[in-house]
């Protein structure tokens, strides 16, 4: 039996955050790498990052939007990336930010989780604006598949603050409370964690204290200005914090040695 997503992440480090390489084949990066801005270029870009990541990090995170922009060809490329990551022993977070009413969430769950899923992933990001309860079909499908779900609570971008910090709760804390309730009541807990940006280290510290068993996907390292030092200053040095970095790594490519050196340098700084 293969190890589940959560256990793989927690086993990847001891006294530091864990780390994942983002795969964001944007027009700008494909151009910088001398690749065509199409699904084939996105696949070559992703393959280079998979090769560079193998054996160094436990997880990669393709941003689905950069594949989706190429339509059916893009989804075919992403499907290959998922399979090839698995062949290289890498777990994959599909960063898709899905969310809808419960019945439609069942369909999203069928797309990403379970042996019959066309784009079977090890973890998925979801957006809770329709209510954390509406995401339960995704949680259940992930639990049955040894997979994991990251609910966006406190995103890394400045535009998120107005909505997420609203109310006495505030809203992002309420999202964490709803996750805690589901985990407490679920037959198969330890399936749901949250996205909390590394750009908000104080809030990340609160989130880890509120949900100590959960994993936290923390984007924002590098291109968005957050650093490992910001997290260390908040005492955030446990592997349940999964830092992710996309552009800051990819900008070092396409040379495999340069990419690996960049990943190793990022790991050394944690
Ligand atoms: O709060 C969030 C949630 C997701 N993201 C995604 O992570 C990467 C960040 O890319 P960088 O180049 O490392 O800045 C990107 O795919 C975002 O869509 C996020 O940034 N913040």
**pLDDT digit string, tens, across residues 216-228:** 999 999 999 999 9
pLDDT tens for 122-141 read: 999 999 999 999 999 999 99
CB 59 within 8 A of CB 13: no
Fill in the DSSP letter of residue 71.
H
Q: How many whole angstroms separate alpha carbon 253 and alpha carbon 37?
A: 16
**For position 3, what pLDDT does the model report?**
82
Q: Confirm whether 270 is domain-assigned.
A: no
- Assign residue 183 the CATH number of its domain: 3.20.20.70
Q: How many whole angstroms separate alpha carbon 46 and alpha carbon 139?
A: 27
pLDDT tens for 108-118 read: 999 999 999 99
**What is the residue range of 174's domain?**
5-265
**What are the C-alpha distances in Å from 86 to residues 58, 178, 246?**
11, 31, 19
83, 123, 66: which is closest to 242 by C-alpha? 123
How high is the mean pLDDT of the chain?
96
Q: How many whole angstroms separate alpha carbon 257 and alpha carbon 263?
A: 10
Rg of the chain (C-alpha set)? 17
Our answer on whether the CB atom of 219 is closer than 6 Å to any ligand 1 atom is yes
Strands 59-62 and 91-98: parallel
Mean pLDDT value across residues 64-73: 98
- List the structure tokens of 80: 């290959």
Strands 148-154 and 216-219: unpaired
With a cut of 90, say whether residue 84 has pLDDT above it. Answer: yes
**For position 189, what pLDDT does the model report?**
66
- For ligand 1, atom 18, name the residue with the nearest CA: 63
The band of 181, judged by pLDDT with boundaries at 50, 70 and 90, is very high
With a cut of 80, say whether residue 188 has pLDDT above it. Answer: no
Q: Confirm whether 84 is domain-assigned.
A: yes
Residues 6+ apart with CB under 8 A from 45: 23, 25, 29, 30, 33, 35, 250, 253, 254
User: How far is the centre of ligand 1, averaged over its atoms, from the C-alpha of 123 (Å)?
Assistant: 15
Q: Confirm whether 239 is domain-assigned.
A: yes
User: How far is the centre of ligand 1, averaged over its atoms, from the C-alpha of 185 (Å)?
Assistant: 31
Our answer on whether the CB atom of 245 is closer than 6 Å to any ligand 1 atom is yes
Fill in the DSSP letter of residue 4.
P
Q: Confirm whether 90 is domain-assigned.
A: yes
User: How far is the centre of ligand 1, averaged over its atoms, from the C-alpha of 219 (Å)?
Assistant: 5
Our answer on whether the CB atom of 175 is closer than 6 Å to any ligand 1 atom is no
**For position 247, what pLDDT does the model report?**
98
**For position 139, what pLDDT does the model report?**
97
Q: Confirm whether 162 is domain-assigned.
A: yes
**For position 226, what pLDDT does the model report?**
95
With a cut of 80, say whether residue 194 has pLDDT above it. Answer: yes
Q: Confirm whether 137 is domain-assigned.
A: yes
Q: Confirm whether 152 is domain-assigned.
A: yes
Q: Which atom of ligand 1 is nearest to the CA of 63?
A: 16
CB 13 within 8 A of CB 236: no
**For position 92, what pLDDT does the model report?**
98
Q: How many whole angstroms separate alpha carbon 99 and alpha carbon 138?
A: 9
**What are the C-alpha distances in Å from 206 to residues 172, 185, 211?**
11, 22, 9
Q: Confirm whether 85 is domain-assigned.
A: yes
User: How far is the centre of ligand 1, averaged over its atoms, from the C-alpha of 226 (Å)?
Assistant: 12
Q: How many domains does the chain have?
A: 1
- For ligand 1, atom 1, name the residue with the nearest CA: 155
pLDDT tens for 30-67 read: 999 999 999 999 999 999 999 999 999 999 999 999 99
pLDDT tens for 245-270 read: 999 999 999 999 999 999 999 999 99
Our answer on whether the CB atom of 43 is closer than 6 Å to any ligand 1 atom is no
- For ligand 1, atom 4, name the residue with the nearest CA: 219
Cα-to-chain-centroid distance, residue 26? 17
Marked catalytic residue, from 6, 61, 91, 97: 97
pLDDT tens for 141-158 read: 999 999 999 999 999 999
Is 97 a known active-site residue? yes
User: How far is the centre of ligand 1, averaged over its atoms, from the C-alpha of 40 (Å)?
Assistant: 22
Q: Which atom of ligand 1 is nearest to the CA of 155?
A: 1
Q: How many whole angstroms separate alpha carbon 56 and alpha carbon 82?
A: 18
Measured from the Cβ of residue 227, the count of other Cβ atoms closer than 10 Å reads 15
Q: What is the DSSP code string of 23-60?
A: E---HHHHHHTT--SSHHHHHHHHHHHHHHHTTT-SEE
206, 203, 243, 202: which is closest to 223 by C-alpha? 243
């Amino acid at each position: 039996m293969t190890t589940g997503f959560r256990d793989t992440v927690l086993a990847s480090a001891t006294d530091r955050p864990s780390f994942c390489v983002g795969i964001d084949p944007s027009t700008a990066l494909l151009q910088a790498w001398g690749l065509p801005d199409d699904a084939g270029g996105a696949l070559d870009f992703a393959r280079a990052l998979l090769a560079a990541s193998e054996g160094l990090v436990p997880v990669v995170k393709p941003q689905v939007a950069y594949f989706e922009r190429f339509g059916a060809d893009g989804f075919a490329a992403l499907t290959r990336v998922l399979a090839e990551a698995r062949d290289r022993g890498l777990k994959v977070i599909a960063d898709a930010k899905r969310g809808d009413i419960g019945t439609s969430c069942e369909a999203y769950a069928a797309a990403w989780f379970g042996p019959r899923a066309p784009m079977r992933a090890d973890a998925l990001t979801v957006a809770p604006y329709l209510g954390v309860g509406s995401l339960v079909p995704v949680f259940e499908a992930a639990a049955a598949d040894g997979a994991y779900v990251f609910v966006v609570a406190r995103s890394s971008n400045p535009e998120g603050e107005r909505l997420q910090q609203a109310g006495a709760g505030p809203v992002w804390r309420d999202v964490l409370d709803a996750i805690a309730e589901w985990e407490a009541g679920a037959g198969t807990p330890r399936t749901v964690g949250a996205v909390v940006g590394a750009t908000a280290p104080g809030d990340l510290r609160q989130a880890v204290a509120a949900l100590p068993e959960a994993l936290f996907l923390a984007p924002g390292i590098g291109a968005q200005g957050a650093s490992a030092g910001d997290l260390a200053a908040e005492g955030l040095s446990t592997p349940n914090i999964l830092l992710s970095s996309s552009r800051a790594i990819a900008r070092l490519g396409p040379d495999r040695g340069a990419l690996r050196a960049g990943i190793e340098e990022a790991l050394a700084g944690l």
